[in-house]
Structure 1
Amino acid sequence: MAQNPDARGASHDLSVQLGPLRLKNPVMVASGTFGYGEEYADFLDLTALGAVVVKGISLAPRPGNPPPRLVETPAGMINAIGLENVGVDAFLQSKLPYLRDRQVPVIVNIFGNLLEEYAELAARLEGVPGIVALEINISCPNVKSGGMIFGTEPSMAARVVEAVRRATTLPLITKLTPNVTHIGEIAKAAVGAGSDMLSCINTVAAMAVDIFSRRPKLANVFGGLSGPAIKPIALRCTYEVLQAVDCPVIGIGGIANATDALEFLLLGARAVQVGTANFVHPAVTREIIEGMRRFLEVERLGGVEEYIGSLNRECLFPFAEIACEMTDLP
């Protein structure tokens, strides 16, 4: 990377413009891995984060799936929590005030099994102080379509985004699932329907079995794989999405240190979300932020905006050609 000698002694600014949002740095926490924020307050200063993406919220409280619902795997874990949460009323009354008092930007992840549920949630969260954006989880089954996942078909993903867009003026982030053939097509549909930004990826469909009991290790049988094992998949998906759409993208998947986070920014992601690593090391986000600042200093960059999207593309084929060659591999 070409160095900028004029940046010596600069402040090494980590702030980023993420669509309509201005964040103090590009490091967020991923939904479902950080609770509602207060759970991690003993480990780090929440105000140091770019934003907190809270545990997914539904209209009514959900108990989640029966145990066992977590399985450790090599370089990651599989979860089948089942989107357990307190519901929107309890969130607004007892969870959001803590984050609002600390003036940390809050992004609320929302989900439902019907289009109407997504729209009602968005309407309920419209204009609530402290909430800066909504993240739409489209990795949920549409009960009116026989359980088909909203995010696996472009037209269905678009319908969810359209419903939420009509219900709110808040910036919208659509969280994409990797469990599709062409994630770029889903990305185009979401942006075309009104999503301001995209986050990718959600967990990868997986399972684990016990050779002695001869049973699945999860009561739900299937779950979502996360952690370092999925980072290469997340990088590929992020790259593909960035080629497909012209909007801010947030990279997620296997980020455990500053180097991991910088890889996503190098591709062109304007922010990242840290997930499973929070369970291993609750203060990991603080170390990632500090590591990014040291990197800018070493590279003599005045700000992280100078680094975002600086991947050397001279040796790259167009993505369509790369994808074609991949399908021809034995």
Structure 2
Amino acid sequence: MRENNWKERGRVNASKRSKDPDMRVTVAGVEFASPVIAASGTFGYGVEFEDIVSLERIGGFVTKGLSREPMAGNPAPRIIETSAGMMNAIGLQNMGVRAFIAEKLPKLRKVKGAVIIANVFGFTIEDCLEVIQALNDAPGIAMYELNASCPNTSHGGMVFGTDPPQLWELVARCKAVARRPLMVKLSPNVTDIGLMARVAADGGADSVSLVNTFVSLAIDVETRLPRIANVTGGLSGPAIKPIAVRMVHEVSKNVTIPIVGMGGIVRAEDAVEFMMAGATAVQVGTASYADPRAVENIANALKRWCSSHEIVQVSSLTGTALL
């Protein structure tokens, strides 16, 4: 019988432990004040939240996906509520990498405690390389998150993150030019997430984040038309959390690089679950639509949870589930 000793990894005698637990975690050499990070696409470019959220109290944030040229995104309706989350087909709307560097980044650099992760995407490998090269010369960015869930228009529209050879080439070539750590955001729409994580790691990824949204469909039964103009959209929110936790655990058995987990996190216990499954840090996305302060609230609640459970270092939770 396995000994239930996970609590001992992060706790000490109550009379000796410090008042506040150490909430710092390190992902690919980048230190975060908290393991709770705002996910891409739900936190704008960061500056929109500076008067709402205390950025020094959260781990950091991931920018909206940045492309080589500005993108208008998909037509409306492109976001709907579901019974346990939401579907969206925003279409990666963004101002383009150069406008971000010129207009948003200077403001972000003035925000105390802001750890900035730039989300990068493109429809060809060359697109991604150009975005990364532009960001390489921009100060104030801690790392890159490479969105591997985009279709490769040079190869018939197949999604990078669902084809091992294409994923390896994308990661390897981006890593070759990146001057900062490279985190690869994996698609969950695969049969073997562990394999895709290994491919990303073999390509040179310093970390992986998962999961992105699940391809989904909603139909208006009165009109018989899709409820989203794009027909399909990405499902996120609490509905996907058990699947995302399972995938994080599977990835943790396949790679040794840090894992950042996401998918339906709305409270501190959700973050703990992901960390016990193998994540070093977590990202909070959909919850920010219901509560713009969700990321900070979850970060604060996680700190209280650690204190009440005599966890001295939050990093000690990683991989401690008895599975």
Smaller-chain TM-score bracket: over 0.9
In 2, Cα distance between equivalents of 1:97 and 1:5: 43
Q: 2:204 aligns with which of 194, 200, 205?
A: 194
Which AA in structure 2 matches 1:55? K
CA positional deviation for 1:83: 0.2
Whether the 8 Å contact between 1:16 and 1:270 is mirrored in structure 2 is yes
| Contact 1:120–1:167 (Cα < 8 Å) also in 2 | no
| Aligned twin of 2:31 | 22
Give yes or no for the alignment of 1:2 onto 2:12: no
2:106 is aligned with 1:97: yes
Q: State the alpha-carbon separation in 1 of the partners of residues 278 and 152 from structure 2.
A: 32
| Inter-partner Cα distance in structure 2 for 1:302 and 1:80 | 41
The residue that corresponds to 1:263 in the other structure is: 273
Larger CA deviation: 285-294 vs 28-37: 285-294
SS in 2 for 1:66: coil
CA RMSD of aligned residues (A): 1.2
1:12 is matched with 21
- Contact residue 7 and residue 311 of structure 2 kept, 8 A: no
Instruction: Look up the equivalent residue of 1:216 and give its one-letter code.
Output: P
Cα deviation, 1:141-191, whole Å, max 9, x if unaligned, reads: 111111100100111111111111111221000000000010111111111
Match of 1:38 in 2: 47
Deviation at 1:32, TM superposition (A): 0.3
Residue 126 of structure 1 pairs with residue 131 of structure 2: no
TM-fit CA distance, 1:7: 5.1
Hey, which bits of structure 1, 4+ residues long, moved more than 4 A? none
Contact 1:116 1:163 in 2 (8 A): no
Report the Cα distance in structure 1 between the residues aligned to 2:144 and 2:60, rounded to whole angstroms: 12
- Counterpart of 1:62 in structure 2 is 71
CA distance in 1, matches of 2:311, 2:106: 37
Structure 2 matches for 1:177-326, cutoff 5 A?
177-313=187-323
Aligned length: 313
C-alpha deviation, 1:45, in angstroms: 1.1
CA deviation string 1:230-264 (max 9, x = no partner): 10111011111111111100001000110111101
**In 2: Cα distance, 1:7 partner to 1:178 partner:** 41
Q: Partners in 2 of 1:194 and 1:183 — Cα distance?
A: 17
1:50-73 Cα shifts (integer Å, max 9, x gaps): 111000000000000011101111
Q: Give, in whole Å, the separation in 2 of the partners of 1:291 and 1:61.
A: 37
CA distance in 1, matches of 2:100, 2:14: 44
Indicate if the aligned counterparts of 1:16 and 1:23 stay in contact, CA closer than 8 A. Answer: yes
Contact 2:246 2:277 in 1 (8 A): no
**2:185 equivalent among 160, 171, 175:** 175
Determine helix, strand or coil for the equivalent of 2:253: helix
Paired letter, 2:13: D
**3-state SS, counterpart of residue 249 of structure 2:** helix
For structure 2, which runs of at least 5 residues remain unmatched after alignment? 1-5
Q: CA deviation at 1:39?
A: 1.8
Provide the TM-score with structure 2 as the length reference: 0.94
Letter in 2 for 1:298: S
Identity score, percent: 43
1:91 maps to amino acid: F
3-state DSSP of counterpart to 1:133: strand
Gaps of 5+ in 1: 314-330
